[in-house]
């Protein structure tokens, strides 16, 4: 069975098998990041040089962003958008100091998953089956079209595992705060060194990035029961065994939604589920409500935990996640 890319990537992080080839020049957002909002597709060699960043070919519609908060906010908004992701990709590669490499690899990983594990990338339109409900077919078709739109401007090279790992492992990933935080929590997770784990979780809470938390959220609440030695979840001073911790896990799944990640029907994983299987939901909350429908009160308890988690991140209270 083919390993999931997430596992492959995690293995590379743990083993520190990063490329030594410096693909990205350190162009600073503070000097002014320029990107053509009407950009056509630039080839890989047109915007990347070994050891330095090639200037993109700009025409009209140049966007200048002077400060990190503006740039990161722009990238988050663009990553949320259902439209073509090319402009964001080109900008993100030039802004590792603002988390740009994390954003760039996140979008190309998603498009790689479409190419490798579904037929969506090769279909012109969603095949219709005689027994298929018309309304369901429409939802599947709309989801598939939006996914194709997001990924249409990436080359096969850009969404290949080798290329993504090279980007993720370049020397400039070391100055990307989001990659650094994800790598630290993933490669040094040790229940015998709680002090280090607390500092790693504190850094993620401080960054407060919804896409980072979407990737590492469950690790923020993993805990070891001191009496039984079992691994479960912990939040707000309470330990949950795996069999009783579904509400915590669901709340963590929803947490990015309260921090700025778009979680409607266009959210990537929900869109793939809809396009590929016909299981369509209006958003993550709708999906969680459906999954907990047979457990009276479970959705309300999940929402209470979710709201408490959102407040903890926004107020910088990392102790809620790990004492």
d(C-alpha 275, C-alpha 273), whole Å: 6
> Which pLDDT value is given to residue 77?
84
Nearest by Cα to 35 from 76, 74, 77, 80: 74
Q: Is 89:154 a contact under the CB 8 Å cutoff? A: yes
End-to-end Cα spacing for the chain: 39
Residue 144: DSSP 8-state: H
As averages over each run of 10 residues, the pLDDT of the chain (323 residues) reads 42 30 27 30 32 31 48 83 79 88 90 75 57 76 85 85 84 88 77 81 94 92 84 90 87 96 92 89 96 94 97 94 77
Please say whether the beta carbons of 280 and 265 come within 8 A. Answer: yes
Round to whole Å and give the CA distance between 197 and 202.
8
* Residue 240 bridge partners (DSSP): 233
For residue 238, report the phi and psi dihedrals to the nearest 5 degrees: -115, 135
Crossing angle of the two packed helices 268-277 and 100-117, in degrees rounded to 10: 10
**Mind listing the pLDDT tens digit for each residue in 134-192?**
678 889 888 888 888 888 888 888 888 888 888 887 888 888 999 999 988 876 667 77
What are residue 222's DSSP bridge partners? Answer: 233
Question: What pLDDT does residue 212 have?
Answer: 95
Q: Per DSSP, which regions of the chain are E strands?
A: 33-36, 62-65, 222-224, 231-235, 238-240
Helices (H) and strands (E) in the chain — how many of each?
14, 5
Token pair for 222? 């993993």
Q: What's the pLDDT score for residue 165?
A: 86
Residues 6+ apart with CB under 8 A from 81: 88
Task: Give bridge partners of residue 62 from the DSSP assignment.
Answer: 36
CA distance 180 to 170: 12
pLDDT at 203: 93
């Amino acid at each position: 069975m083919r390993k999931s890319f997430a596992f492959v990537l995690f293995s590379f992080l743990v083993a520190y098998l990063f490329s030594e080839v410096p693909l990205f020049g350190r162009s600073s957002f503070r000097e002014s990041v320029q990107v053509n909002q009407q950009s056509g597709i630039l080839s890989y060699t047109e915007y990347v040089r070994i050891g330095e960043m090639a200037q993109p070919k700009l025409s009209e519609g140049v966007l200048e962003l002077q400060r990190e908060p503006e740039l990161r906010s722009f990238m988050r908004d663009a990553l949320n958008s259902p439209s073509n992701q090319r402009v964001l990709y080109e900008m993100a590669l030039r802004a590792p100091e603002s988390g740009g490499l994390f954003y760039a690899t996140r979008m190309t990983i998603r498009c790689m998953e479409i190419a490798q594990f579904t037929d969506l990338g090769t279909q012109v339109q969603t095949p219709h089956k005689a027994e298929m409900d018309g309304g369901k077919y429409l939802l599947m078709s709309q989801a598939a079209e939006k996914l194709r739109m997001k990924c249409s401007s990436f080359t096969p090279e850009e969404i290949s595992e080798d290329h993504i790992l090279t980007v993720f492992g370049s020397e400039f990933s070391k100055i990307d705060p989001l990659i650094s935080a994800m790598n630290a929590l993933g490669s040094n997770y040790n229940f015998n060194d709680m002090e280090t784990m607390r500092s790693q979780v504190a850094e993620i809470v401080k960054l407060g990035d919804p896409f980072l938390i979407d990737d590492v959220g469950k690790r923020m609440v993993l805990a070891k029961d001191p009496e039984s030695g079992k691994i479960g979840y912990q939040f707000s001073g309470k330990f949950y065994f795996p069999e009783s911790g579904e509400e915590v896990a669901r709340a963590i799944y929803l947490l990015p939604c309260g921090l700025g990640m778009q979680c409607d029907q266009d959210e990537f994983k929900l869109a793939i589920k809809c396009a590929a299987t016909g299981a369509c939901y209006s958003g993550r909350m709708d999906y969680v409500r459906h999954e907990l429908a047979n457990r009276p009160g479970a959705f309300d308890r999940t929402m209470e935990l979710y709201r408490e988690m959102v407040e903890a991140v926004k107020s910088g209270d990392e102790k809620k996640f790990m004492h």
